[in-house]
Each structure stands twice: as structure tokens, then as C-alpha cells.
Amino acid sequence: MTDPGRVGRGPRGPLAAGERVLLVDHHDRRYLIRLVPGASFQSHAGVVEHDALIGRPEGSEVVAWRRDGGSGPARRFLAVRPTLADVIVKMPRGAQVIYPKDLGAILVAADLFPGARVLEAGVGSGALSMTALQAGCEVTGYEIREDFARRARANVAELLGADAPFRVEERDVYEGIAETGLDRVLLDLPEPWRVVEHAERALLPGGILLAYLPSITQTAELRARLARASFALAETFEILRRSWHIEGRSVRPDHRMVAHTGFVTTARRVEARGFSGGERDGDGGPAGGVED
Ligand code: SAH
């Protein structure tokens, strides 16, 4: 089943049978359910009938009834359609997924555009695949583990339908890339430097290679390999996201924050040599001004 709202007309209108809905309680506990006529959702708080949601506007409240007839106030849930980030956090996964904060940055750093021909390896659970597909890319994935490949196909089909432009092959990207004329190569695996030569042949001039890596020594090894190949304008960054607690007069950063996820490195496939990056400071900040 697909989330019908995501395909074609956009996620609008009353909640419909077959769609996924996120139920959120007052403690911000979140549950992702798919609406099936006659079905019910059971939780610690009680039972929610799907029929009480089907046909209701998004953002409605629904009350859970207690099977034991127990006392205390009825638990209520807010029902909204899940965002891509909600789905990614909740979906079944084998491999570690890329966090939404990093996916957002990757979208722009890799300049993922509608119709871009993208090679992605490894596919893992498909979080990055979904992000690229939702941006309109055509994605071919290489994944060495058959079980992960299967799960990624299922996760993508659940979100975007079986006809999404997504193909996963069970193969080892270190052995080569069969595709040519690619716009983007996205890598989330342990030794991306072993893919640099393949990506060099597979990418169109001006194309972008992006790699996501947990450790900076891996990143340095990748950068060294990129510097020796036909790649330029290399950049590496990480995203530190600090959320805030805002409640009445208590307005401060949250106590906890994810300290580290991964480093993102990008580079452009070029014909020229000797523009390997590393000279420029950051993202057009004080030292990165534009000359006119
Ligand atoms: N980006 C994915 C997570 C990828 S986890 C997501 O957002 O969901 C890394 C994946 O790379 C794993 O599934 C692993 O099986 C796969 N992998 C590791 N080495 C590989 C190789 N040489 N070729 C293809 N896939 C590989």
C-alpha cells in the first residue's frame, strides 16, 4: 500500500482509508498507523477505531477508549499525516538510517533536482533513497545485502508506490558502476574512496559525488583520493542541530542534543586538475564572499 496523498495530488483533503496517519499523544509519543476500515489501534492508552479517523480532516483529535472501562481521563490523540521525516524515523530498518537533519542538508549539498539520474550505494533502509525520490530524482541503488535491498524496496513502495523511479540491484559498488551519464553519486558505506574511480567514469562532467561518513579519518582518506582524481571543489561539513524548549517563560536550548551523526563530503566531477578544494572557508560566510 502507498500513501495515496504523496503521489500526484499532494497530501490533502480528509484522511482516507489506505493512508498512513501519525497519532501523537500529550507526551509526544508517536504512532504510525495505516487506516483500514473496521480496524482498531491498541496502545497503552486504549483503543482507537480507524473508522473514527477516516473521513475526518487532518489535525483532528480522536479519543481512545479503555477496554477495561478504567477510570481517569480519556486519552486523546492528534491525527496528522506523517512527514517524510516522521516516516523515516518510524519505518522498519536494518541498517542505520541517515537522520532527517542530515538528509535536509544532503538535498541541497548534492543539489538533487527533478529528473536527476542518481546512483546510490549502499541503500540500507532507503531513507536517502526516499529523500532523493521525493525531490524528483530517478534512483538506481546498489546494495550488497539482499535483506536490506528488499526492505528498502518495500519502504519506498509504501511511501511512493511501486512505480516510483527506483531500482535496487544486489551488487557491490566497489566492483564498479555499470551506469554512465549520471548526474549524482550518493555514497553511504564504509570505504567510499574505493568508489571514486568508478564514479569518475560514471558521472557526467559537473556531476556531484556525495559521501556520508561517521568518522573524520575516513573522510580524510576520501578527500585524499578525490584530490588525486578528476574531482574539484571538494567540501566537508557536519550539521549540528540544537532544538529549543519553548514553554511560557522557559525559553532555552533543550538539555540534550545529538552530538554526532556523520560528515558530509561533496565534490564535482571535472575535466580540469588542481582545483581540489580545501582553500575556501565554508559556505559563503565571511571569508567566502562573492566578487562582483
Ligand atoms: N543511507 C542509507 C543507509 C545505508 S547503511 C539510509 O539512509 O537508509 C550502509 C549500507 O551500505 C548497508 O546497507 C550495507 O549493506 C551497504 N553496503 C556496504 N558496503 C557496500 C558495497 N560495497 N556495495 C553496496 N552496498 C554496500
Q: Which pLDDT band, with edges at 50, 70 and 90, does 179 fall under?
A: very high
Rounded distance between C-alpha atoms, residue 104 and residue 123, angstroms: 17
Number of alpha carbons in the 13 Å side-chain half-sphere of residue 104:
9
The answer to which of 60-74, 86-100, 105-119, 169-183 has the lowest mean pLDDT is 60-74
For the stretch 96-125, pLDDT in tens is 899 999 999 999 999 999 999 999 999 999
**Burial of 24 by CB count in 10 Å (0-12 exposed, 13-18 middle, 19+ buried)?**
middle
Q: Which pLDDT band, with edges at 50, 70 and 90, does 56 fall under?
A: very high
Q: Which pLDDT band, with edges at 50, 70 and 90, does 45 fall under?
A: confident
Closest CA to 63 of 51, 55, 52, 54: 52
Contact 143/123 with Cβ under 8 angstroms?
yes
Give yes or no for residue 145 having a pLDDT over 90.
Answer: yes
Q: Cell numbers of 52, please?
A: 473514527
Question: What is the distance, to the nearest Å, from the Cα of residue 116 to the centroid of all Cα atoms in its chain?
Answer: 17
Give yes or no for residue 71 having a pLDDT over 90.
Answer: no
Nearest residue (by CA) to ligand 1, atom 3, is 124
Other C-beta atoms lying within 10 Å of the C-beta of residue 216 = 12
pLDDT of residue 81: 96
Centre of ligand 1 to C-alpha 29, Å, is 30
Q: Cell numbers of 253, please?
A: 536550548
Other C-beta atoms lying within 10 Å of the C-beta of residue 149 = 21
Q: Which pLDDT band, with edges at 50, 70 and 90, does 276 fall under?
A: low
Centre of ligand 1 to C-alpha 84, Å, is 20
Contact 143/170 with Cβ under 8 angstroms?
yes
pLDDT of residue 8: 54
CA distances from 9 to 4, 60, 137, 165 (A): 9, 21, 18, 18
SS3 64: strand
The dihedral built from the CA positions of residue 173, 276, 218 and 99, taken in this order, carries a sign that is negative
Mean per-residue pLDDT of the chain: 91
According to DSSP H, which parts of the chain are helical?
Answer: 84-90, 100-109, 127-134, 146-160, 196-202, 216-227
Centre of ligand 1 to C-alpha 189, Å, is 5
Looking at the CA of residue 173, tell me the nearest atom of ligand 1: 23
Rg for the chain, CA atoms, rounded: 22
Nearest residue (by CA) to ligand 1, atom 18, is 189
Q: Which pLDDT band, with edges at 50, 70 and 90, does 1 fall under?
A: low
Looking at the CA of residue 195, tell me the nearest atom of ligand 1: 22
- Which amino acid is it at 260? H
Rounded distance between C-alpha atoms, residue 152 and residue 125, angstroms: 5
Which residues fall within 8 angstroms of residue 102, CB to CB, at 6 or more apart? 212, 239, 261, 262, 264
Topology of the domain comprising 85-288: Rossmann fold (3.40.50)
- Which residues on adjacent β-strands are paired with residue 200? none
- The residue that leads in pLDDT, 9 or 29, is 29
Q: Which residues line ligand 1 (CB under 6 A)?
A: 95-98, 121-122, 124-128, 142-145, 148, 172-174, 188-189
State the CATH architecture for 4-82. Answer: Roll (3.10)
Nearest residue (by CA) to ligand 1, atom 12, is 124
| pTM score | 0.91
Question: What is the distance, to the nearest Å, from the Cα of residue 171 to the centroid of all Cα atoms in its chain?
Answer: 22
pLDDT of residue 167: 98
The domain limits of the chain are 4-82, 85-288
Give yes or no for residue 136 having a pLDDT over 70.
Answer: yes
Give yes or no for residue 70 having a pLDDT over 90.
Answer: no
Centre of ligand 1 to C-alpha 8, Å, is 30
For the stretch 218-273, pLDDT in tens is 999 999 999 999 999 999 999 999 999 999 999 999 999 999 999 999 999 999 87
SS3 120: strand
pLDDT of residue 6: 61
Looking at the CA of residue 95, tell me the nearest atom of ligand 1: 5
Contact 81/5 with Cβ under 8 angstroms?
yes
Contact 226/282 with Cβ under 8 angstroms?
no
pLDDT of residue 130: 98
Contact 119/185 with Cβ under 8 angstroms?
yes
